[in-house]
């Protein structure tokens, strides 16, 4: 190989490394923050986690995407799907759903599983949502590795729904509550199993595959 070609090959290799580093840095910068419910936790006490689901986030880079948000212990709404809880602790979850619903493709997703004592919808106990009746199911909150699944009853599509997060209780909403025991330390992926990526093939793209929107991680720490 001539000297000139060696130079070209070297420059190409350096450029490739630089591009790789750039993408790695961008990925790290874009990673959503983690809301910490474990810090300052007193052993034996439950942890309260409040989420909301919205039909459209309302801000860049994806204003039309559906999304989850997490309320921090300080009361601020954070656009993230990363949160941290202590191990072997009761986790009380409240999800305020501001999105509409529809019939499920798989009715199994309408069944409550893996919780402590079922779940409540606006204060009333339920273990199954028939998505072919009423407003249907908007989303699910599911942690597959724990066998946890909770369907989120939808709002009427005829209502004037919240169009930008964070939403307030002035907008039509449904309140779903349930509890579960956190497992041992580790990273546990959670997600929505209702295809709600409007404009993507079979609804499974976009927000359905993006951390910070409809899937995330629950980090459990000792």
Q: What string of H, E and C letters represents the secondary structure of the chain?
A: CCHHHHHHHHHHHHHHHHHHHHHHHHHHHHCCCEEECCCCCCCCCCEEEEEEEECCCCCCCCCCCCEEEEECCCCCEECCCEEEEECCCEEEEEEEECCECECCCCHHHHECECCCCCEEECCEEECECCCCCCCCEEEEEEEHHHCEEEEEECECCCCCCCCCCCCCCCCCCEEEEEEEECCCCEEEEEECCCCCCCCCHHHCCHHHHCECCCEEEEEEEC
Per-position pLDDT tens, the chain of length 222: 554 444 434 434 444 444 344 333 334 446 899 999 999 999 999 999 999 999 999 999 999 999 999 999 999 999 999 999 999 999 999 999 999 999 999 999 999 999 999 999 999 999 999 999 999 999 999 999 999 999 999 999 999 999 999 999 999 999 999 999 999 999 999 999 999 888 888 778 999 999 999 999 999 999
CATH of domain 36-221: 2.60.40.420
Q: Whole-model pTM?
A: 0.85
The ranges assigned to domains in the chain are 1-30, 36-221
């Amino acid at each position: 190989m001539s000297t000139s070609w060696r130079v070209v090959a070297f420059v190409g290799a350096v450029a490739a490394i630089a591009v790789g580093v750039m993408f790695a840095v961008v990925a790290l910068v874009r990673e959503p923050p983690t809301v910490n419910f474990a810090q300052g936790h007193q052993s034996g006490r439950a942890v309260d986690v409040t989420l909301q689901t919205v039909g459209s986030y309302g801000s860049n880079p994806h204003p039309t995407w559906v999304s989850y948000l997490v309320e921090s212990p300080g009361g601020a709404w954070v656009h993230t799907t990363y949160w941290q809880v202590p191990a072997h602790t009761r986790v009380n979850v409240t999800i305020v759903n501001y999105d509409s619903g529809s019939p499920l493709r798989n009715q199994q997703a309408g069944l409550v599983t893996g919780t402590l004592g079922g779940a409540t919808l606006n204060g009333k106990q339920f273990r199954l949502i028939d998505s072919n009746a009423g407003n249907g199911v908007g989303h699910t909150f599911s942690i597959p590795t724990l066998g946890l699944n909770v369907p989120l009853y939808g709002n009427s599509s005829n209502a004037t729904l919240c169009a930008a997060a964070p939403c307030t209780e002035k907008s039509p909403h449904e309140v779903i509550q349930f509890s579960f025991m956190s497992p041992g330390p580790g990273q546990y992926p959670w997600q929505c199993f209702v295809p709600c990526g409007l404009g993507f093939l079979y609804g499974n793209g976009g927000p359905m595959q993006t951390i910070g929107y409809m899937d995330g991680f629950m980090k459990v720490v000792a």
